[in-house]
């Protein structure tokens, strides 16, 4: 557009010039070779303009003829390059879509049309095609070849890093990431891998330098960078607490300033201050952290701030913590533990029960069990409380990637991820608790007992095998009319019959002969009298006559039928302690 306006302006100026000359008449006289030429001024201007235009056209024509071979070759070269880039673009799209065959064909076409030295993307397409074909060894060789070219060095390092991660070689992967970080600190994948390596090796200063580089290159937000710095400073303070308390105090205080919600930073700073005999400042830090988030580690360190304090002094400090955050389970537990150490069992019991009401979890019931054992020594009550503790939800703990740890750590023991530990209830225990509630079997129903008829007299004598067969396949018989001499009367006349030694296959008589003296070879000795659990059956069972003669007294029989299960194990519900367990009978 500007060129058109410039051309129109130039034409307009030329027109104005010619018009100006036309309005002012004049002659132009030229003497050359003895001749004198005289023309008007307007004609002379036109002749000069024509001469200039002819010279320009002649120069353009000569220049075009001179450069025509280069122009023609350039035209074909540009056309060839455009075809090559089109093939390269199609091959990259095919590689991204997972079409290994098309990617390989387009790679070959692009290499014919474009020199690989001129376009590094051809090497990338070649390596990607090898990966799609499953030839990882060839792909690694091509990535290694990219390291020689400064333009493709980072691309080769990235490819080698991914291949090492695929093979599970974390050492090689972190080596390539460290090389990439040296060349380009702004690469997030490289800096993250190098940061994990430095934290696992305990090189906290190098890790802090990497976090500062991530913050300056805006790889992470400011809040995330401060959190990472706080975690690394806390880890550094914990590592140097014993050797250099002053340095640990400086690092921990900085971590507590960057992340006041980080409990390990507050506890580490307090420990360092207590080592340096600065009880007041350390207590202030713990009190501030307790107000934000009551934590059992804060309570333990605060209560035991001075090793020489008596138990009553520790109880006073625990009560001060409770006044800072009332109606919280951790406050109640801290006071209850301190009161138990002091020997004030009533206060300990009251606070432990309050903790159980606020959050009925494992620690509350265990503390109640300790108070009960220390105060009364009632083992039954202690077992009941322990049973509640077993069934109660688990206490919160430091959890990272499914691993439960007793102490906080800066990195995950599974993945090496920084700041992975969280204070929460382990999820796997909650899942088990839910499954146990759904899968808990219903209490068994009492098995029906076979009731012996008032006059269990059979019509014909049966052997023991017949009795067992009848008990299995036959329904319970209806009461039979009384025989001339019922078994009940026979047992009354002869309460202590002697056992017989006759063979077991001899028929057993349905009636007893009380008038005759009991013989040593009587039918009663054919088979020993079965126990009560064998004589009573479930379902269509029949009571054999022989056990009726040796039946225990009613009081003893009733006592045997009732089996009271005492709460002698931690898994017994205290509400079911006095429940009578129904007696189970064995089937034939």
**Partners of residue 581 on adjacent β-strands:** 563
pLDDT in tens, 501-552: 444 444 333 333 444 443 333 433 334 444 444 333 334 333 444 444 444 4
pLDDT at 541: 39
CA 180 centroid distance within chain: 30
In this prediction, residue 494 carries a pLDDT of 41
Q: Which of these, 418, 461, 450, lies nearest to 588 by C-alpha position?
A: 450
What's residue 255's pLDDT? 95
What is the C-alpha to C-alpha distance for residues 363 and 340, in angstroms, rounded to an integer? 14
Q: According to the model, what pLDDT value does residue 116 have?
A: 67
The pLDDT of residue 64: 86
User: Residue 423: what are its φ and ψ, rounded to 5°?
Assistant: -90, 100
pLDDT of 336 > 50? The answer is yes
Cα–Cα dist 426/424, whole Å = 6
Q: Which residues make Cβ contacts (< 8 Å) with residue 245, sequence separation at least 6?
A: 272, 275, 276
Cβ(471)–Cβ(529) below 8 Å: no
**Within a 10 A sphere around the Cβ of 51, how many other Cβ atoms?**
10
Supply the mean pLDDT for the chain.
Answer: 77
Report the candidate in 499, 551, 552 with the shortest Cα–Cα distance to residue 526: 499
Using one digit for the tens of pLDDT, what is the confidence trace for 473-485?
Answer: 444 444 444 444 4
The answer, yes or no, to whether residue 445 has pLDDT greater than 60, is no
Residues 248 and 272 sit within 8 Å (Cβ to Cβ): yes
| pLDDT for position 209 | 93
Please check the confidence at residue 471 and state whether its pLDDT lies above 80.
no
3-state SS assignment for residue 389: helix
Q: In the chain, pLDDT over 90 holds for what percent of residues?
A: 40
**pLDDT for the residue 119:** 80
26 pLDDT more than 60: yes
| HEC sequence for 368-425 | HHHHHHHHCCCHHHHHHHHHHHHHCCCCCEEEECCEEECCCCCECCCCCCECCCEEEC
- Kindly tell me if the per-residue pLDDT of 293 is higher than 60: yes
User: What is the total residue count of the chain?
Assistant: 588
Lowest mean pLDDT across 19-23, 82-86, 274-278: 19-23
pLDDT(490) > 80: no
176: confidence class by pLDDT, cuts 50, 70, 90? very high
Task: Read off the pLDDT of residues 385-420 as tens digits, 9 standing for 90 and up.
Answer: 999 999 999 999 999 988 999 899 999 998 888 999
Alpha-helical runs (H) found in 293-326? 296-303, 311-324
Residue 335: is its pLDDT beyond 90? Answer: yes
The CA distances from residue 67 to 57, 76, 77, 78, 79, in Å, are 16, 15, 15, 16, 18
pLDDT band of residue 329 (cuts 50, 70, 90) is very high
How far is Cα 280 from Cα 24, in angstroms, rounded to an integer? Answer: 106
564 pLDDT exceeds 70? no
Averaged pLDDT for residues 117-134: 85
Does residue 573 surpass a pLDDT of 70? no
Q: Is the pLDDT of residue 560 over 50?
A: no
User: What pLDDT was estimated at residue 415?
Assistant: 85
């Amino acid at each position: 557009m500007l060129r058109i306006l410039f051309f129109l302006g130039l034409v307009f100026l030329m027109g104005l010039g010619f018009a100006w000359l036309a309005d002012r008449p004049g002659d132009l006289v030229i003497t050359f070779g003895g001749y004198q030429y005289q023309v008007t001024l307007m004609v002379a201007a036109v002749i000069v303009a024509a001469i200039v235009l002819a010279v320009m056209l002649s120069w353009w024509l000569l220049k075009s003829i001179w450069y025509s071979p280069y122009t023609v070759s350039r035209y074909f070269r540009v056309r060839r390059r455009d075809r090559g880039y089109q093939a390269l673009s199609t091959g990259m799209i095919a590689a991204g879509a997972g079409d290994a065959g098309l990617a390989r064909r387009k790679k070959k076409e692009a290499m014919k049309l474009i020199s690989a030295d001129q376009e590094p993307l051809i090497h990338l397409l070649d390596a990607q095609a090898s990966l799609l074909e499953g030839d990882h060894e060839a792909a690694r060789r091509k990535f290694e070849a990219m390291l020689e070219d400064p333009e493709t060095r980072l691309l080769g390092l990235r490819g080698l890093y991914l291949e090492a991660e695929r093979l599970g070689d974390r050492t090689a992967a972190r080596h390539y990431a460290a090389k990439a970080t040296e060349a380009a600190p702004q690469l997030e994948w490289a800096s993250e891998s190098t940061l994990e390596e430095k934290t696992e090796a305990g090189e906290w200063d190098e890790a802090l330098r990497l976090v500062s580089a991530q913050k300056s290159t805006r790889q992470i937000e400011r809040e995330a960078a401060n959190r990472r710095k706080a975690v690394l400073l806390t880890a550094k303070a914990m590592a140097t607490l014993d050797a250099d308390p002053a340095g640990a105090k400086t690092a921990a205080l900085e971590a507590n300033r960057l992340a006041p919600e980080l409990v390990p930073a507050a506890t580490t700073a307090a420990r360092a201050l207590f080592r340096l005999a600065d009880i007041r400042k350390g207590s202030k830090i713990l009190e501030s952290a307790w107000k934000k988030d009551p934590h059992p580690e804060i309570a333990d360190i605060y209560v035991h701030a001075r090793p020489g304090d008596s138990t009553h002094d520790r109880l006073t400090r625990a009560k001060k913590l409770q006044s800072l955050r009332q109606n919280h389970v951790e406050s109640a537990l801290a006071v209850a533990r301190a009161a138990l150490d002091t020997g004030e069992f009533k206060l300990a019991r009251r606070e432990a029960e309050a903790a159980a009401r606020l959050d009925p979890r494992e620690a509350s019931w265990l503390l109640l069990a300790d108070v009960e054992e220390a105060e009364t020594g009632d083992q039954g009550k202690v077992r009941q409380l322990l049973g509640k503790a077993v069934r109660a939800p688990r206490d919160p703990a430091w959890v990272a990637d499914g691993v439960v740890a007793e102490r906080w750590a800066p990195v995950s023991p599974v993945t090496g991820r920084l700041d992975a530990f969280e204070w929460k209830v382990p999820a796997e225990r909650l899942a088990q608790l839910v499954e146990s509630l759904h899968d808990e079997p219903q209490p068994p129903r009492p098995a029906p007992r076979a009731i012996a008829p008032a006059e269990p007299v059979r019509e014909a004598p049966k052997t023991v095998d017949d009795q067992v067969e009848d008990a299995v396949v036959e329904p319970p018989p209806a009461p039979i009319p009384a025989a001339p001499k019922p078994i009940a009367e026979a047992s009354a006349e002869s309460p202590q019959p002697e056992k017989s030694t006759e063979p077991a296959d001899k028929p057993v008589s349905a009636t007893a002969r009380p008038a005759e003296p009991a013989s040593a070879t009587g039918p009663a000795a054919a088979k020993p009298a079965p126990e009560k659990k064998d004589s009573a059956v479930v379902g269509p069972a029949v009571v054999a006559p022989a056990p009726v003669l040796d039946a225990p007294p009613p009081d003893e029989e009733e006592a045997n039928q009732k089996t009271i299960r005492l709460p002698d194990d931690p898994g017994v519900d205290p509400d079911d302690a006095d429940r009578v367990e129904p007696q189970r009978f064995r089937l034939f």
